[in-house]
Amino acid sequence: MVLLEVKDVHFSYDGKPVLKGVSLQVSGGEILGLIGPNGAGKSTLIKLIAGILAPQEGAIEILGRPLKSWRRQDLAKVVALVPQGAYIPPTFTVWESVLLGRTPYLHFPGIASKKDIEAVQRAMEWAEVGHLQDKFVGELSGGERQRVILARALAQEPKVLLLDEPTAHLDIHHQVSTLKLIQGLARAEGLAVLAVLHDLNLASSFSDRIALLVEGKVLAQGSPEEVIVADRLHRAYGSGILVMSRPDNSTRPIVLPDLRIS
């Protein structure tokens, strides 16, 4: 079932067009990887879907309903966002930070129910930050902080998860474990995931489908093997990229810098 649909969306900042007719769909249980060069409009698209910005043209539907018709608090229960370079106050503990994800559910500000506490616990375990729960955010490494931000989003128990570079700052173990976690959640909970991934190998390895955004337009959309193709990547990023097959049996391509091109 399609949980997120973007239909021919146009968006400009102060008259400067950034998205020029973007359409995409994400179904429950699937990860759509969003790739594209710096400034292509990826974060802008994520902000439009999260309702932080509004498109000048086109429409966005969440669970089949126009985004505009959702009440803010109801939207916060179904759409969770991990923004690029998200901030969490350094004086909060990890547990308190993850509890912030429950804000849309709290009946009285500051009073967490048993259900809220269980959701926080589950989210911390998923994101592998349970052992850090009493630490202050200011005392965490960049990667640990990133996983706390993910836990906060998961505590929301969303249906649509928007991730803007969720693996930035993570070491390779945590890059892989984070994306495997997200893949597992998509499958088990029927989450629709839209993830901006700069690392083309991670995008290729973990996306069910990939959309390649270039200068505000979707240049290609399809399976990793359909999108991670040398001439498409050259058009998007310039030359200097080598696309190869993996040494294992997977059909998901891998990408390397081409050292023959200076």
Q: Is 168 in the site for Mg ion (CB under 5 A)?
A: no
Q: Is 43 in the site for ligand ATP (CB under 6 A)?
A: yes
- Single-letter residue type at 43: S
Rounded-to-integer distance, Cα 153 and Cα 199, Å: 22
Of the pair 155, 236, the CB lying nearest ligand ATP is at 236
Contact between 29 and 186 (Cβ < 8 Å): yes
Of the pair 84, 93, the CB lying nearest ligand ATP is at 84
Listed in sequence order, the residues at least 6 apart from 147 whose beta carbon sits closer than 8 Å to its beta carbon are 127, 128, 129, 170, 174, 178
5, 22, 24, 44: which one binds ligand ATP (CB under 6 A): 44
Which among 23-31, 32-40, 118-126, 218-226 is the span making contact with ligand ATP, rule CB under 6 A? 32-40
Q: Which does 173 bind (CB under 5 to 8 A by kind): Mg ion, ligand ATP, none?
A: none
Is the C-alpha dihedral spanning 169, 128, 104, 64 positive or negative?
positive
Measured from the CB of residue 80, what is the shortest distance to ligand ATP in angstroms? 18
The CA-to-CA distance between both ends of the chain, in Å, stands at 46
71-90: contacts with ligand ATP (CB under 6 A): 84
Measured from the CB of residue 198, what is the shortest distance to Mg ion in angstroms? 9
Tokens 């849309």 locate to 104
Chain centroid to Cα 260, Å, comes to 33
Q: Is 43 in the site for Mg ion (CB under 5 A)?
A: yes
Rounded-to-integer distance, Cα 254 and Cα 72, Å: 40
Q: Is 166 in the site for ligand ATP (CB under 6 A)?
A: no
Q: List contacts with ligand ATP (CB under 6 A).
A: 13, 18, 36, 38-44, 84
